[in-house]
Structures are given as structure tokens and as C-alpha cells.
Structure 1
Amino acid sequence: MKTIKKQIANLLTASTMILLVVSAAFTKISGQNDPVRLGFIPLTDCSPIVMAKELGLFKKYGVEVVVTKESSWANVRDKILTGELDGAHCLYSMPFSVYTGVGGKAGSEMKIAMMLNVNGQAITLSNDFCGKVGFKQMNKVTPVVAAKLKAEKEVTFAMTFPGGTHDLWLRNWMSIAGLNQKAVKIITIPPPQMVANMKVGNMDGFCVGEPWGGVAVKQGIGFTQVASQDIWKDHPEKALVVNKDFSTKRKADLVKVMKAVMEACIWLDNPSNRKKAASIIGRAPYVNAPADVIEARLMGDYNLGCNQGTQVYAKDYMLFHKGGTVNYPRKSYAIWAMAQFVRFGYLKEAPNYAAIADKLILQDLYEEVAKSMKIKIPNDDMKPFSLTMDKTVFDPSNPAAYLKVVKR
């Protein structure tokens, strides 16, 4: 009897060992024990990911994260799609640009888990225009550009990714200013290379996130013509965008990442923390830019350059949480972005707006995370909204009506 019991025990032990080996092998194959790989572009609004790492928040929520600096938005796109990156700090409109074929192979899926910030981008003009046009003087932009065109000099503006947010702010600004978008050249330049390219005369103006607008002013090569929050107060900007398979196969890890990033967003919205954030973000491994420039614009204190003085943004500077209103990934904003693709000729026909927004935005997952953290979920999605500067009203349930009346 004892022999039989011993044999049974040995069999059970062997079975347990086999199960453990199989389980370990499966875990290795599925990547469950691999660190999460998150990319970022050197911009001030990469702060939620960087600070989640620096403050130990990823560890707090039990997930190992490797944070890597990337060279361009196209590089981020490619690495997310191939799975080399599990996710990244990303232009919120980029997944829609890629999926519709504007900025990538049509049908390629990148998922939005949550938003990271609003506001904090700027359109910078070369000092060649200094004294000819000032801050927000839209009516003076057109004749200045026209004069340069008459002098048979090509006018060139730069943005960072076709259909990305910087592209959309630039094109909306041009429309408000009355510029013929077919009469100027628009090129794509990675954010950290904007200032250097303007310095050697490769473009007359650019739209990009901070701190590069502030750096251009500090170096005396350009001035802030308008901030993006003047075009649309509290506009959506960057998002946490993830690989499709990562969002399903490693959902538990994604939830942990989201919680850590959310806590970093809350921390960043405390003004007393922004000096520390600027000193960290400015370091070479991250943005590699002067901490004083990062801090000033983080605090809403904009030295505009070109003897224009200072513009102070008291409530509509770069925000990362705002009681949860920032982080909620709205489908209405996705539809607005895709309507711009039609408006500005990237798409010949309207896409299936609602279906694409449903496919690419992980809104249910965000709500699950927000509720677990007792963060309020806004109730304004899919309601009409208006832009600040041109007063256009956008109804996400009827983009066609908007496109009939809006200027190109």
C-alpha cells in the first residue's frame, strides 16, 4: 500500500513539474515576463511616461518598463506596428492617419489607451518675419507670405507627421490666416531637428510641441506667432498608443502601465512639481533641452521673441490631467481629426468615422482603469464642440455638414 502511495505521489510530482515547465515555456513564448517597452519623442509632453519611470510609479504598480528615446514619429509608428515597442507617447491623430492610409499602410492598427495632455504646441516663424507680423496677427501673415512669393522665393513650413496634430494645427492656422495651402511647401521634420533646420534656412516656420518653440526664441532664430491653445483651447494632443497584440495578450500589464501614467499625469498637474519635472525632462537621455525653457512654458510663461514680450497662460497651458478631463480618449476628437484629412485633401472620400474610432480607441478599458482609480469620466463625448480661434462648430455625428462650410 505504501509503495502504491509513493508511486502516486511521484506521478503527481512529475505531473506538477511538467505543468510548471509547460507554463514557464508558454509564459516565455507569450512574453508575459518581458519588460514593457515604451517609446517617446523628445518633447515636453513625453513627461507622463518619463516621470512615471523616474518617480518609480511603474514599479509601484508592479510592471517593469523600459523607456526609450525615438528619432521620429515614423520610427514610433513602425516600431509599434511591428511590436518592437509595446507602446509610446504619440500624436493622438496618428493612429487614424495610419489606419486611413494618410501616414502609413491603410488598415494598420495602433490602439489609443488614454490621452496624455492638452495644449502646449506652437507655430514658430523665422526672424525674417520679425516686425512684419506679431503674435496672433493673422491678418498680417498673408501679405508677408505673399510678398515672399512675389519675390520668387519658396515659402516652406514644417510639421512632424502627415495627418499628425502638428500638421492639423499648422493647416488650421493657415486657413485662419487666409493662406493658400497649395502655394506653400509643407515638409516633414522630426521635432528635435526643427530648430537646427530653421537655423540653416530650410523653412520659414514650423509647428511642433514644446520646448522647441521656446528654444527657437532663446536661440534668437524664431518667434512664437501663435500657441496651439489659442487655435483650440484644451485641444487633444498626445496619447498613450499601444500595439494591437499587446492590448489583448498583455492587458493586465497595460492596465498597470495606464495606472502609473495616470498617477504621473496627476503629479504633473501640481504646479509645485513642474520645476522638478523640467529639470528631469531636460536631461540628455530625455528631451536634451534647457530646463529653464521647459519650465517656463510648462508654467504658461511664454517669452514670444521678436520683442513681443511675454504671454502668460493662466489656465490653458499644458495640462496632463485636469480632474480626468484630459485623459479620457474621446471618439469625437478622432472623428474631427479624420474630417481634417478630408478637408485638406489627404482623403478623397469620407472614411467610416465611427467604425474607425470604435476600432482604434480602447475607451472601455480606459473607463475600467479610471473607475478603479476613482477618477471621474467625462460625459461630453460625441457632443458638438467649437474651436477657439475660428469659431467653427463641429458635430461629430455630422462631419459632412461641417465640411460643407469650413474653409480649407
Structure 2
Amino acid sequence: MKKLNKQIASLITTSILTMVVALVSFSSNAQSKEPIKLGFIPLTDCSPIVMAKELGLFKKYGVEVIVTKESSWANVRDKILTGELDGAHCLYTMPFSVYTGVGGKAGSEMKIAMMLSENGQAITLSNDFCGKVAFKQMNKIAPVVAAKIKAEKEVTFAMTFPGGTHDLWLRNWMAIAGLNQKAVKIITIPPPQMVANMKVGNMDGFCVGEPWGGVAVKQGVGFTQIATQDIWKDHPEKALVVNKEFSEDRKEDLKKVMKAIMEACMWLDVPANRKKAASIIGKAPYVNAPADVIENRLMGNYDLGCNQGTEIYDNDYMVFYKGGTVNYPRKSYAIWAMAQFVRFGYLKDAPNYKAIADKLILQDLYEEVAKSMKVKIPTDDMKPFSLTMDKTLFDPSNPAAYLKVVKK
């Protein structure tokens, strides 16, 4: 009888263990099948995520993805950090801004999986400056702004997120022009609201991604003073930024998402596809802007406004792939961004540049995905570089030397 009881107990224990394993397996499988939520801001450079969805590439790689339009970069930040979004089209500098406390709670981790785009932002000035400051005429900006300040007491410029790319392009533009950033008011406005705010006189200029610079021209409320690729040709811009837990718990799914987006980036860099892309992303669920404006600036045809004619960018317009050189998440660019936080007074002391870049950039994961897709991995990371207009050498191994020069 004792032997029989032991056998029964053993069978019960085995059955319970089998049930537990099955439940754990079911839970794991259920989690892996949960739709992945990716956010985007209504900007032309959300195209890789939107087109990966529209072209059926997420399904091709075996993941179900829901894409959602978000209202502001702060909203994107909050939803990524809480896990409401698994990832998003994002300003590449945002994770470093948030982690260092410039644009969020210090120590909060958002991970960069890959880059999405280069170039394609612009600084737009209101028509008050028309005829006083021409396209790329940098030497006139400071005196014209000074005269306007004297006459009206205040000049206001807008960007989209503290420490974000648009903020850094605006402040670099001011520095190159010799304009003291403390002499003007700098405010934060979500990208889709820029043109409306300029129309009612809330700002004198703004830096934002397309198509909003082009829309301001089309609506006759402002003109393009400079494109960001004029400041820094082939500058990094947007990234696929993901929730920390998602990157750890669903790594295989993240790799599939990255493959789909990479293929979308390749597709977008075929000029013949850009008309189709413009017609799709211009629709109300996405950017909700005129397709012709999106298409023209995607193709490098910039109507500048203010009777300045058209500027043609033939090798430095918005790009998404460029043989894989766009998509590699470089730590040197992260270090450059954090050096700007120190340069422009956001941070009093230098952060631990390299440690933060190592923590927040999933470079090994990107390399794994790129190799599986036979995408070339650039070898220029951590090498010194300079911007197109500001020739100051930036050595990512020695940011202090750069800061010593630019802060004079």
C-alpha cells in the first residue's frame, strides 16, 4: 500500500509539474504574440515605420505591429518609459537628453536599436525677416535679430524637445551666426503645431523636420533660411528607440521589427518610390499634410519662399539607408550630442559620455541584424569629424578639447 501511495504521489507531482511548464510555455507564447506598439510623430522621417507597415514588411518578418500617431515628443518619451509603447520613431538625441536629466527624469533608460534617417530638417523664419535675411546668409542673422529685439523687446524661436535634434540644430545655427542664445526666447512646440503657431505670431522662427518647413512656405507664413544638411551634411536625425524591457524580453521580435524597418529604408531610398511614399504618409492617419510638399522635399526640391526661388539638393536630401551608412547607431554621435548639452548650458558638468553611449545604444544587436541582412557595417564610429559649417574638430574620445574651443 505504501508503495502504491508513493507511485500515486509521484504521478500527481509529475502532472502538476507538467501543468506548470505548460502554463509558463503558454504565457510565454501569448506574450510573444502580443502586438508590438510603435509610435510616430507626424513628420516625413516617420516613413520607415509607416512604410514597413503599409508595405506588409512587419508581416513578412513574422511580427504584428500597431503604429500609432503621437502628439508630442514628451508624449513619446513617457509612453516608451512606461511600456505603453514598445518603441517609436524618435529624435536620436532624446535618450541621452532624458538619461542626463535635460529632457526627463535622470537615469531613465530608452534604448536606440537603429537609426532611421539623415538630413531633412530646416530652420524657418517668419515673413518679418523676408528681404532682410536670405537663404544661408548667416552674417545677417545676428544684426537683424538684434534690431528686431530693440524694436519689439523679444524674439522667440521654437524647437520640439529640450536637448532634441531640432534644439541642437537651432542652437548650432545661432552659434554659427554669432547670435547669443540668451538674447532670445526659445520655446518647445510639437512639430505639427509649428506652422499654426507661426501664423498667429507666437514665434519668429522654428526648427523642425519636414514637411512643416515646406508647409510654412506653401501657406505663405514663412521661408526657409537654411536646411539642416547645410549646417551638417548627412547629420544623424531619427532613430528607432525602444523600451528597455521590450529590448530584453522580446529581443527576437525586436530583431524582426528592425529587419522590416531596414527593408523599408532600402525601399525609401529608391527615388522612384518616393512619390508613392509621399502619397501614403501625407494621409490623415499619418502626417496629414499635402503630398506634393512632402514629395518635393523628399526629392530635394525646396521652394524656399520669400521670392528666393528653388534650391535643389541632389546628394544631401533626406536619406534612410544609403548602403547602410544611415542606419548604424554610432556612439560618437551620442557623445557629440551630450557635449552640446554641456556647451549650451543644459549640463553644468560633463557626463560619463562613453558609459552612457554604451548603455543606451544597442550596437551589438544592430550589427547582428545588419549581418543577417548582408548590410555593410560602417567603420567610422569614434573617429573625429566636423560639421559642414562649423569646422571645429570633434574627437569623441576627447570632448573636453572640443568644448574648450567652442565655449571661448
Task: Name the TM-score, length of structure 1 as normaliser.
Answer: 0.95
Q: Which residue of 2 aligns with 1:343?
A: 343
Distance 1:158 1:232 in 2: 20
Closer, same or farther in 2 for the Cα pair 1:26/1:63, shift >3 Å? closer
Distance 1:127 1:18 in 2: 69
Between 1:377-386 and 1:149-158, the stretch displaced more is 149-158
Q: Which residue of 1 aligns with 2:148?
A: 148
Distance 1:193 1:46 in 2: 17
Quote the offset at 1:391 in angstroms.
1.3
Distance 1:27 1:84 in 2: 20
Matches within 5 A, 1:158-237: 158-237=158-237
Q: Which residue of 1 aligns with 2:5?
A: none
Question: Identity, % of aligned pairs?
Answer: 85
- Segments of structure 2 that go 5 or more residues without pairing to the other structure are 1-7
Quote the offset at 1:19 in angstroms.
3.4
CA-to-partner distance for each residue in 1:173-217, whole Å, 9 max, x for gaps? Answer: 000111111110000000000000000000000000000000000
Distance 2:145 2:75 in 1: 32
The partner residue of 2:21 within 19, 40, 48 is 19
Contact 1:111 1:243 in 2 (8 A): yes
Q: Which amino acid letter does the alignment assign opposite residue 190 of structure 1?
A: P
Quote the offset at 1:142 in angstroms.
1.0
Distance 2:107 2:21 in 1: 39
Distance 2:246 2:13 in 1: 37
Q: Which residue of 2 aligns with 1:4?
A: none
Closer, same or farther in 2 for the Cα pair 1:163/1:14, shift >3 Å? closer
Distance 1:43 1:405 in 2: 35
Quote the offset at 1:407 in angstroms.
4.8
Matches within 5 A, 1:91-102: 91-102=91-102
Distance 2:250 2:401 in 1: 41
Quote the offset at 1:12 in angstroms.
8.1
Runs ≥4 residues deviating over 6 A: 7-15
Distance 2:276 2:72 in 1: 26
Q: Which amino acid letter does the alignment assign opposite residue 101 of structure 1?
A: G
Distance 1:291 1:186 in 2: 30
Q: Which amino acid letter does the alignment assign opposite residue 361 of structure 1?
A: I
Q: Which residue of 2 aligns with 1:286?
A: 286
Contact 1:175 1:407 in 2 (8 A): no
CA-to-partner distance for each residue in 1:28-77, whole Å, 9 max, x for gaps? Answer: 4xx32211000000000000000000000000000000000000000000
Distance 2:84 2:242 in 1: 11
CA-to-partner distance for each residue in 1:118-152, whole Å, 9 max, x for gaps? Answer: 00000000011101110000111111101111113
Q: Which residue of 2 aligns with 1:3?
A: none
Contact 1:42 1:286 in 2 (8 A): yes
Q: Which amino acid letter does the alignment assign opposite residue 37 of structure 1?
A: K
Quote the offset at 1:392 in angstroms.
1.7
Distance 2:167 2:141 in 1: 18
Between 1:138-147 and 1:73-82, the stretch displaced more is 138-147
Q: Which residue of 1 aligns with 2:4?
A: none
Q: Which amino acid letter does the alignment assign opposite residue 21 of structure 2?
A: L
Closer, same or farther in 2 for the Cα pair 1:17/1:278, shift >3 Å? same
Distance 1:407 1:19 in 2: 61
Distance 1:16 1:148 in 2: 77
Q: Which residue of 2 aligns with 1:272?
A: 272
SS at match of 1:124: strand
SS at match of 2:114: strand
CA-to-partner distance for each residue in 1:360-392, whole Å, 9 max, x for gaps? Answer: 000000000000000000000000011001212
Matches within 5 A, 1:9-408: 19-28=21-30, 31-407=31-407
Task: Name the TM-score, length of structure 2 as normaliser.
Answer: 0.95
- Segments of structure 1 that go 5 or more residues without pairing to the other structure are 1-6
Equivalenced residue count is 400
Contact 1:111 1:362 in 2 (8 A): yes
